[in-house]
Structure 1
Amino acid sequence: MDKKIRVAEMFAGVGGFHLGLSRASSHFEVIWADQFEPSRKNQFAFNIYKKNFPETNVVNEDISLINKTNIPYMDMLVGGFPCQDYSVASTGAKGIFGKKGVLWWDIKDVIEAKWPQFVFLENVDRLLTSPGINSVQPGRDFGMILRTFSDLGYGVTWKMINAADYGFPQRRRRTFIFAFRKDTNFKKYVKNIAQLGEENIAEFIKSMPPLSSSLKNISIGEISEVDLTKYNSLIDFSDNFSVEKAFKKTGFMIDGHIYMADYQPYIVKPKTLESIIKPNETDETLYLTPEKENKFKELKDGFKTIKISKSGHKYPYGMGAIAFPDPLNKPARTMVTSEHTVSRMSHVIKDPGNGLLRLISPEEAEQINTFPIGWTLEKNITPSNRYFMMGNALVVDLVKVIGIEIEKLAKKEHRKKYINSSKLEVIKH
């Protein structure tokens, strides 16, 4: 396939999507990106993106202020966006607005303005239960995203993926969302599968592209169905949506009808911290003082308590103990933006060269996310800024694997048929 797949990137960070797709295939061409950090005076992520991708038209503007019609034509929109409150309210003549999840509505506006063939998004794992498993509407926020895609004329597949399950050096759990426009062959194919019955639906969920065709599942659980079409509007949906125990880890939505299941991954031997950590680190500021060591021990102990929900329901809440120091024979835990601080979630390792306790270095943080060493180096940047950006980043090589499957789907858009497993006949369009 000689045709380029033109990609636009929102909330671009330091370019994890861009780098992953470029590793997947030279056919992906990022033609526009936006990176803006409203809470920071120094726009380091934008500068790093521009340094590493000098040929890309990357802008440093608040996405809410950008005229979406001026964004270049695209085949695929990508981006990682924060998990927020996606409830909606009617404001008279102003129509429907999200109360807090404004970034999602900017994504919606871009899709409406440019109508890309595909959309590929990443979010936190808890999106599937947001605004909370103990709330009266667990999963409402993800349901709102699915309902919005359906109203825009898209089908969706999703999967919550632990990167370490598939051989990557971090136990980072993230929800990946892939949407496909109503006029695509893939949309017609998935719609046919939904009509073929539960056995075929189960087989598709188990191995559906682009999120499970390479990132294989060995089994899936019971299939649940949800009908989004019974809600008259987004406001009706926001006020009245309910689903038992929120959304399951993987599934698909077609014409407002959802089929989903939990799954067991086909686990690949992961890359461990031992293969990344540099012995005899020379940066003395990374090593723990006795005071810091004692504080870390205290923070990493587990605790249990009882909380009360807004509805008055009591429920147990706690956090288990975290290994101290972090074992080198396992992948890293999920990195956080405060990785350099004395906090419960910061990694502490025993340096394999000198046996002393220390924090991971910025270069090690980059490798844990499968970025090249030195990717986040920038003039006047501090180590804390570099950790912050890696805490917000994604696992690049996971995007690469999914990108390879997306390219296959793009190629099939130029063909007249799809062929799936032996249980499914060839479906002609």
Structure 2
Amino acid sequence: MRDKIRVAELFAGVGGFHLGLKRADAKFDIVWADQFEPEKKHQFAYDIYKARFPNTLISPKDITLVDKSDIPTMDLLVGGFPCQDYSVASTVAAGLFGKKGVLWWDIKDVIEAKWPEFIFLENVDRLLTSPGVTKEQPGRDFGVILRTLSDLGYSATWKVINAADYGFPQRRRRTFIFASREDTNYHAEMKREIHRKASNIANFLKRLAPLSSSLVVQKITEIQNVNLNEFKSLAKFSSEFKVKNGFRKMGIMLDGQVYMADYSPKSKQPITLSEIIKPNSSIGSLYLNEEKLSKFKRLKNGFRTEKISKTGYSYKYGMGAINFPDPLDKPARTMVTTEHTVSRMSHVVSDPGNGRLRLISPEEAELINTFPEGWTKLEGVSDSERYFTMGNALVVNLVKEIGIEISKIISNESEKSEFRSGRKIDYITH
């Protein structure tokens, strides 16, 4: 059994992974973290993280500029990375990255440099269909991620998880990815099971991390198989790979072979907004005046229209109406970074003390993400910056639940006697 599980945290925000893993098991030891907010002069998230975890070595440097070889050795790499553009651009210069997807390739560079035994990542649920079913290559971006992990010597499992299904106070759907290195016991166990029970993969998928041990999978659809090895180079894969309607909500990738399915969970009773929203808020700016009320009513109404893609593809686009105000007998919707503004996705509640319509407070936003109340309150950090961090944050206690499972998996691994460098990928000719 291991006394410590060394963790490096990318895109650390205000410490959702750190806090959740520590709640799961004190053995998780965050040995290094990086937090940099692009286009922000004030690095408020870094300041909050540093204040809450003063003994953790954290870098405020843009990850693209970090020398990956300087990062401490780790057993587990974690991070909630932005979902943008993961294409591999092949030009006369050869090997150039997609302009917006550079952050994924920095994760790849960290893996190559440090080759951690396990990887635990989080992203938006639409990652599985990105760049979208209305585009020519649905599922390409997630396919590139899985293919990259495979080429680096990892298997991977994933699941789209709604935090409210676990009893938490937010209907936040996120894709969680758990990858294991090819020389781990866990990887070997999965390989044996896949080969031994090829005809019963559905039941195997139900009990795989992340979180199958805690969440009961009630129903599963027919298994789909995808071969990630059909293209020799990663560049060709990026330009041609697609999956009809994108990837399913849960699956496993092993040796470039994908088995996946949609699933329905047996949900737990969630915490509702009525247990979070405090009566008679004293923050006057939260309450809606007539002008804001009128704007919110208009924004919350649904609409439908038709759009034409750049390639001439016609598709219907629209948004349904949003409850106004948000019902207190349900968990919150997914929080956004602009909760303090008059926008379609901002929460509006009826204050349970006086019945007046208002926005949620920074403290209520923290509690919806299961952070301690006042976690982001720091001298020099504005309320708008506090909302921004919570819109980007994880549901901490969901990370805790997954962390408990990951701790058990890693604890079953024997100590590695020496550090081994990982595989390298040539983006064009591999």
- TM-score for the superposition, normalised by structure 1: 0.95
Aligned to 1:27: 27
- Larger mean CA deviation between 190-199 and 401-410 belongs to 190-199
In the TM superposition, 1:13-412 aligns within 5 A as 13-92=13-92, 95-412=95-412
Helix, strand or coil at the partner of 2:252? strand
- The whole-number CA distance in structure 1 between the counterparts of 2:236 and 2:193 is 29
- The whole-number CA distance in structure 2 between the counterparts of 1:100 and 1:5 is 32
- The whole-number CA distance in structure 1 between the counterparts of 2:89 and 2:318 is 34
Contact 1:206 1:219 in 2 (8 A): no
Contact 1:327 1:349 in 2 (8 A): yes
Runs of 4+ displaced beyond 4 Å? 91-94
May I ask how many residue pairs the two structures share in their alignment?
A: 415
Helix, strand or coil at the partner of 2:48? helix
Q: Which amino acid aligns with 2:271?
A: K
What is the CA deviation profile of residues 257-283 of structure 1, one whole-angstrom value per residue up to 9, with x for unaligned ones?
Answer: 000000001100000000000001011
Q: Which amino acid aligns with 1:67?
A: D
- The whole-number CA distance in structure 2 between the counterparts of 1:210 and 1:273 is 27
- The whole-number CA distance in structure 2 between the counterparts of 1:319 and 1:125 is 17
Q: Which amino acid aligns with 1:390?
A: M
- The whole-number CA distance in structure 2 between the counterparts of 1:297 and 1:146 is 42
Alpha-carbon shift at residue 291 of structure 1 (Å) = 1.1
- The whole-number CA distance in structure 2 between the counterparts of 1:381 and 1:97 is 34
Alpha-carbon shift at residue 99 of structure 1 (Å) = 3.6
Contact 2:250 2:263 in 1 (8 A): yes
- The whole-number CA distance in structure 1 between the counterparts of 2:89 and 2:196 is 38
What is the CA deviation profile of residues 402-428 of structure 1, one whole-angstrom value per residue up to 9, with x for unaligned ones?
Answer: 00000010122239xxxxxxxxxxxxx
What is the CA deviation profile of residues 165-198 of structure 1, one whole-angstrom value per residue up to 9, with x for unaligned ones?
Answer: 1111000011001110000011111112221244
- The whole-number CA distance in structure 2 between the counterparts of 1:235 and 1:2 is 40
- The whole-number CA distance in structure 2 between the counterparts of 1:391 and 1:209 is 26
Larger RCO of the pair (alpha carbons < 8 Å, separation 6+): 2
Alpha-carbon shift at residue 288 of structure 1 (Å) = 0.4
Alpha-carbon shift at residue 164 of structure 1 (Å) = 0.5
Helix, strand or coil at the partner of 1:7? strand
- Identity %, equivalent residues: 66
Contact 1:279 1:352 in 2 (8 A): yes
Contact 1:44 1:378 in 2 (8 A): no
What is the CA deviation profile of residues 274-307 of structure 1, one whole-angstrom value per residue up to 9, with x for unaligned ones?
Answer: 0000001011110000111111000000001111
Contact 2:158 2:209 in 1 (8 A): no
Helix, strand or coil at the partner of 2:239? helix
Alpha-carbon shift at residue 94 of structure 1 (Å) = 5.3
Q: 1:96 to 1:196 in 2, by over 3 A?
A: farther
Contact 2:219 2:263 in 1 (8 A): yes
Q: 1:71 to 1:240 in 2, by over 3 A?
A: same
Aligned to 2:414: 414
- The whole-number CA distance in structure 2 between the counterparts of 1:238 and 1:404 is 35
Q: Which amino acid aligns with 1:151?
A: D
Aligned to 1:420: none
Aligned to 1:427: none
- Larger mean CA deviation between 405-414 and 197-206 belongs to 197-206
- The whole-number CA distance in structure 2 between the counterparts of 1:343 and 1:149 is 38
Helix, strand or coil at the partner of 1:346? coil
**Structure 2, gaps ≥5 residues long:** 416-430
- Larger mean CA deviation between 396-405 and 210-219 belongs to 210-219
Q: Which amino acid aligns with 2:230?
A: K
Contact 1:21 1:399 in 2 (8 A): yes
What is the CA deviation profile of residues 355-412 of structure 1, one whole-angstrom value per residue up to 9, with x for unaligned ones?
Answer: 1000000000000000000000111211111000000001000000000000010122
Q: Which amino acid aligns with 2:19?
A: L
Q: Which amino acid aligns with 2:5?
A: I
- The whole-number CA distance in structure 2 between the counterparts of 1:292 and 1:136 is 40
- TM-score for the superposition, normalised by structure 2: 0.95
